[in-house]
Amino acid sequence: MSTLESTHAVLPAGTWQLDPVHSRIGFAVKYMVGTFRGSFSPVEATLVVDPDGAAGLTGSARAENVKVQEPNLVAHLLTPDFFDAERSPELRFRSTDVRTEGDRVTVDGELEIKGVTRPVTLAGEVGGQITDPYGRERIGITLGGQIDRTEFGMNWNNPLPSGKSALANEVALEAELYLMKE
């Protein structure tokens, strides 16, 4: 865990579990003339914030839980061309540093896809803390970042008649985390 650098307690102390109903973990990648989007559901995530401000974020998703607009594409995403779900059934994230400045948050961590672990930096915003109508404390965090999919062994592509590749290497990561205090 790392010490938070903050002007105020943006991330309150405690253990926070992901609310899977209201959260979204997704990705977007340029494909031909548009953007191909997908998400994972269900996912797991835990944020632990110590009283001294040290924080850690972990999360995971099963490759087989990838969701896209065309269900027939899921089978291709699960092959070795992409997630290789048979050999590497789980995607994992573990933070190595969490920093805040005002309501902005930066999370450095390690992302594992297909058994390959690479550093990644995610940045975003803490949406604040509330008590919901049922008495549970909640916080919201949005995070985003980019990875190069080829660094994780996802090299599939399809050349266009122009000679350009149909699928970009850069993938945008998107996370909307609604967390509830244990």
Dump pLDDT digits (tens) for 6-34. Answer: 334 489 999 999 999 999 999 999 999 99
Continuous segment of H or E residues that includes residue 60: strand 54-62
Number of domains present in the structure of the chain: 1
Total-model pTM: 0.91
**Residue 129, φ and ψ in degrees, nearest 5:** -120, 135
4 pLDDT band, cuts 50/70/90, is: very low
CA count, 13 A, side-chain hemisphere, 121: 4
Query: Which CATH number belongs to the domain containing residue 10 in this structure?
Result: 2.40.128.110
Categorise residue 41: left if φ over 0, alpha if ψ from -120 to 50, beta otherwise.
beta
What would you measure as the largest C-alpha separation in the chain, in angstroms? 58
Query: Hunting for tokens 């400045």 — which residue is that?
Result: 101
Range of the domain at 34: 2-181
